[in-house]
Amino acid sequence: MNLNPHNIKLVAVDMDGTFARSDYTYDIPRFKAALARMKNVGCQFVVASGNQYYQLRSHFPGYHHELSFIAENGAFVKDKEELVFSANIS
């Protein structure tokens, strides 16, 4: 992955069948290496899904404080430790 710090500031990934396999596994060493490179150039990693925040967070043990999450179809948004948005959507 060749990241130019002047171009890419954020990478958002959908979990279900995109970033993660159907059993919610993914290449952890590759993720860790990519995240380290992204952090070095100021690029943010965002996990996006219709799933609940705590379910998504459980797939990234030890990293939830470094990632942003758009969960519950956009009804819950957290940037690292900061709750950005939370709403009840029927």
The one catalytic residue in 14, 16, 27, 79 is: 14
Q: What is the pLDDT of residue 17?
A: 83
Adjacent-strand bridge partners of 83:
78
Report the pLDDT value the prediction gives residue 2, as an integer from 0 to 100: 63
Cα–Cα–Cα angle for 22, 17, 42, rounded to 5 degrees: 120
For the chain, 90 residues long, the average pLDDT of each consecutive 10-residue run is: 71 92 93 94 94 95 95 95 90
Q: For the chain, give me the number of helices (H) and strands (E)?
A: 2, 5
**Residue 53 identity (one-letter amino acid):** Y
Q: Which of 18, 11, 26 is nearest to 60 (CA)?
A: 26
Catalytic residue check, 79: no
* Whole-number Cα distances in Å, 82 to 4, 27, 71: 27, 27, 14
* pLDDT at residue 4 in the model: 60
